[in-house]
A and B are shown apart, each in its own frame.
Chain A
């Protein structure tokens, strides 16, 4: 289910833009908090499936808050994946573009310093450099409270569609991606540190707290 174009400011498909410029595909959120990991997991999955053209950067932004400001201000085009809390059915995808993005909020302040993403955009604006084109692909989170949890089925179920939307957006920006012949294995994809890739992460469940089973070694 997609609620695309819920609000369109500057369109992402203006034909009269200059060369594509630098694009940043940024996943934000905390992978340790269940559906809040959507943004990072979406970028991880995109990286496993496609090769991006030069000029496009895929970034796991985590909860870096204000420390993302220079990455944002150096981008001509910014595509953000984030979990949102907008009272929709869990797993509902929403695409927001242009000037509507700063008004849209993620479900949890981006960093523990409470720098919401709109503050990162404002800070970029203060520096006099905001991306020309801005798109947020948000998903309504279901579970934001399970510490150590992973994406819920509803949110995981819309990853494919979110990635299709991202491919379309990059293509509209003149930077179409190339599909890999087969997806990179999660543990070898390299976007996330060892143990944090989605497969390794989910292989050890945080509960129940049973005694450690005899492991290798």
Chain B
């Protein structure tokens, strides 16, 4: 018996050949994917396994809750600020600390800047090469590239000479044998569809974006005091403001606020004139490659973020939408409550953790993280050195399986946009409809890897424009004489109750992020995080529902199972914060991909 139907509506067939994309040596810290393909090389079963979480409570228990943000910031190299913000919100929720209006706006600015940088870097540096063939760019005609670029955008860096120089630089780089970030891709793969000129234009913008992203983080440096690892503060933000001050140290002054304004303007221009035109141009060549939807057309979750009003975390106050869509019913957006024990629960029946009763899920307030590594009887290979094939009928992932009222959910930019769209919010509905019109595709095209990638681009644009508004609101508040950035009334632990617990949430660029903290006598008693990649990369639950990555890979045809570019395209469209396993270090320090087809 190799076929089955999952409760969440997917047909699986575990026969056929198994393709394993694997980091080989260490499972932990990586994402590993196993898929079964049929005789036509179409994916009929998918298994996502990975870890990032080793139980934060192991590290945070006994520590000062006011320091928790700094620890959570170290867990992930890419979600640092978002983890910190979620943490301070959880502690503030537990202790009933209200933050000043300026602190709320500055946090929104920090978070929006993170969105702009993260989405830009994801599109160009972590995902574009799944759609763009760098080596093909060497064959482009610079003049035709210039004509293409000028036909889609007024962006000034578009002359034939510019593209010729860039092509020369690229050629020297490739010919030096030092492909660097471009190595280990499937150059020349038949699934690449862009003409050489579009590839060259995209590579040019890859480099421009790499150069530009550094400007965006200056916003974090200004408000967070330093970068990397800007400072955060329970009760507000750590930067005092003195509009009349001078210089680059001390309180934030008008000179530095003007710099923020200038960076925001540059960001808007770059996104409007480079990112969005590139996104639409690239999508135009792939609009019939609409694989990778998975849960996107069915079950989506967002906590929402960026409160318009300080300390008001209701859906009504949040600029990013909040809610849950179940089984594709866009007519109902369900309310989401992080503290309701019946809503968010984590299951471990297929995860390498132990619960007393693994048929049940646990709400994060009652969360238990007890590692228990055990492999199923159908595991192939040597479990202690090299697992060739996991047994997904048993435990197979270091990720727990989070569920919302028992449903596996997709989180991230596409979830946010679909929820905003379903709620009829113009800020989300209008750009989606404009993009669909531009590409001449139906709304169902959204439910795909491409749709996810497009939603991220539209959200980057949304964030840049909200940055401008938030900046204006901050200046208005400051000019009205309100300079307060922190509330320290409850800073002293003697002012806290003996026990308290709270939940904090954000929308990380890659999806809904929640922290749950329990405080006892001034110290952390328990701390649980449920991160976006745990939602999206989730293994099966006791009922057999598959997770978002697993669902998204189903039914995708692979042109060449030895070079599963299509798998990468779909998984990367989620912006996984786990290392995607195609980049693996060999002993000589070069990276190599390992793909095994059996």
Contact = CB atoms under 8 A, between A and B. Distances in A.
Nearest to B63: A204
Interface in A135-151: 147-148
Contact of B580 (A105, A114, A194): A114
Nearest to A104: B589
B433 interface: no
B385 interface: no
Interface string B214-234: 100100000000001101000
A206 B58 contact: yes
A86 to B, nearest CB: 9
A8 interface: no
A207 interface: yes
Given A114-B580, A212-B521, A122 B181 contact: yes
Contacts of B121: 66-67
B309 interface: no
B443 interface: no
Contacts of B70: 192-196
B29 A112 contact: yes
Nearest to B55: A147
B143 interface: no
A114 B579 contact: yes
A214 interface: yes
Contacts of B520: 212
A189 interface: no
Interface string B554-598: 000000000000000000000001111001010011010000000
A147 B371 CA distance: 12
Contacts of B578: 112
Interface stretch (B71-79, B420-428, B465-473): B71-79
A182 B456 CA distance: 50
Interface string B79-113: 01000000000000000000000000000000000
A63 B77 contact: yes
B522 A215 contact: yes
Interface residues of A, number: 54
Interface string B482-508: 000000000001101000000000000
A212 to B, nearest CB: 5
B59 A206 contact: yes
Interface string B509-543: 00000000000111111000000000000000000
Interface string A194-217: 111000100010110100111111
A32 B78 contact: no
Nearest to B589: A105
A125 B58 CA distance: 40
A46 B29 CA distance: 30
Interface string B44-59: 0000000010110011
A69 B210 contact: yes
A123 interface: yes
Contacts of B231: 193
Contacts of B544: none
B358 interface: no
Given A61-B228, A122-B181, A113 B579 contact: yes
A204 B578 CA distance: 27
Given A113-B78, A113-B126, A148-B58, A122 B67 contact: no
Contacts of A66: 121, 125, 210
Contacts of B213: 67, 70
A115 B125 CA distance: 11
A118 interface: yes
A45 B577 CA distance: 30
Interface in A102-121: 103-105, 108-116, 118-119, 121
Given A126-B207, A195-B70, 16 more contacts: A62-B229, A64-B228, A103-B588, A119-B591, A123-B181, A123-B210, A195-B68, A196-B71, A196-B74, A206-B61, A212-B62, A212-B524, A212-B525, A215-B62, A215-B522, A217-B522
11 contacts: A62-B80, A63-B76, A66-B210, A69-B214, A104-B589, A112-B578, A127-B210, A147-B58, A148-B58, A206-B58, A217-B522
Interface of B: 29, 52, 54-55, 58-59, 61-64, 66-71, 73-78, 80, 121, 125-126, 169, 173, 178-181, 207, 210-211, 213-214, 217, 228-229, 231, 493-494, 496, 520-525, 577-580, 583, 585, 588-589, 591
Closest 10 CB pairs of A and B: A122-B180, A195-B67, A217-B522, A111-B77, A193-B70, A63-B77, A70-B214, A217-B493, A105-B589, A114-B579
